[in-house]
Amino acid sequence: MTSDKIKKITGYLLPFFLMGIFLYFGFKDVNPGEVFEILQNSSIMYLGFFVVVFMLSHYLRALRWKYILGSIKEDASVWRLWGALMVGYGVNCVVPRLGEVYRALFIGKWENLSRSSMLGTIVVERIIDIFVLLLSVIISVIIYSGDLYQHISWLKSTVYVGMIAVIALMVVLYLTVRLKEKFYKGIVKFVGRFSESFAKKLGYSFSMLADGFSTLKGTKNYIYTIALSIIIMLVYAFNSYLGFHVVNMNEIKEVTFSMAWILMTISAFGIVIPTPGGTGSYHAISIFVISQIFGFSAETGAAYAILTHLISYILFILTTVLSIYLTNRSLQKQGKEKENFLSVFKLEREKL
């Protein structure tokens, strides 16, 4: 077996290994019987509210994506953007991070846009997400009654490293767009002295970032992107608050929006960790926050994590299938070809 094959196999198995580790440490002290009882008594009414707000949050993400693309295709369909977004999440539930590629490929085909520029917009969007998340963590530290950094030992260093990384990426993006010839072409040329293949990959990456960042233009698009980023975080927190009511945590003791905000921001790191759909990492962090920070039982935390994650998982898979089906029907009515997980890789002349 070649070293390349070993790397590919290792890269594929690592997320599942991490998932197993997080699941073990998250659930090792949890009583399954008590968790099942809590799940049996879940509120159906609040479950319905949770699903509606969950879908709304991702519609808002698609709307924000539309404004990021505003300078190159102002009339991009929000529903197709939403469909591509959900396809990305659905694929990530099976193979972490591959969903971002498929998201770019599908929207590129559906809206007749350059796949490289779409990948670039997704990278830019992720940078915005990380920056907003880090700010949200800082807000969590402020509104928490105790010392959140003391309770979560890794949080402070993560915020510092994350902020440094985001600022560095923003500087690179700015230099890539403003000083394209002098900046990234000079770097690519220098790297090419040591590795031509890596230089080509680096050149493509810089070009992709430049294409993606350059799509976000105009005062209106900037304002809407910032405003929607804030609204999305508020909706996420509200969804976490509804999750408390789904598993009847409010009947044990008072639950507040600030608690939901804190849980939302900290558990988000479980989604960032490359496990399939955040499985394991999301559960372990949610259980820790609910039990160790808020003082509920580990079983209550486990029930919350299992139910909210299961709902999202099912919705992502269902909407992936539904989005592709409905969009293909629309394409056929327009006399265009259907797209699937193989056809989107077919190379065509890139367009903007």
- Whether 180 has a pLDDT exceeding 70, the answer reads no
- Whether 191 has a pLDDT exceeding 90, the answer reads no
Residues above pLDDT 70, as percent of the chain:
86
- Residue-wise pLDDT for 122-175, tens only, equals 888 988 999 999 999 999 999 998 899 999 989 999 999 989 988 887 787 777
- Residue 348's pLDDT is what? 52
DSSP of 194-227, one letter per residue?
A: T-HHHHHHHHHHHHHHHHHHHT--SHHHHHHHHH
**Taking the model in full, what pTM does it have?**
0.89
- Residue 183's pLDDT is what? 64
CA distances from 258 to 247, 287, 295 (A): 18, 17, 15
DSSP E strand boundaries for the chain: none
Q: What angle do CA 64, 279, 96 make, to 5 degrees?
A: 60
- Residue-wise pLDDT for 90-111, tens only, equals 999 888 878 898 998 999 888 8
Q: What angle do CA 52, 44, 264 make, to 5 degrees?
A: 55
Q: Lowest mean pLDDT: which of 72-76, 149-153, 258-262, 307-311? A: 72-76
CA distance linking residue 19 with residue 26, whole number of Å: 10
- Whether 350 has a pLDDT exceeding 50, the answer reads no
- Residue closest to 339 by CA, chosen among 115, 32, 67, 48: 115
- Residue-wise pLDDT for 263-280, tens only, equals 999 999 998 888 888 999
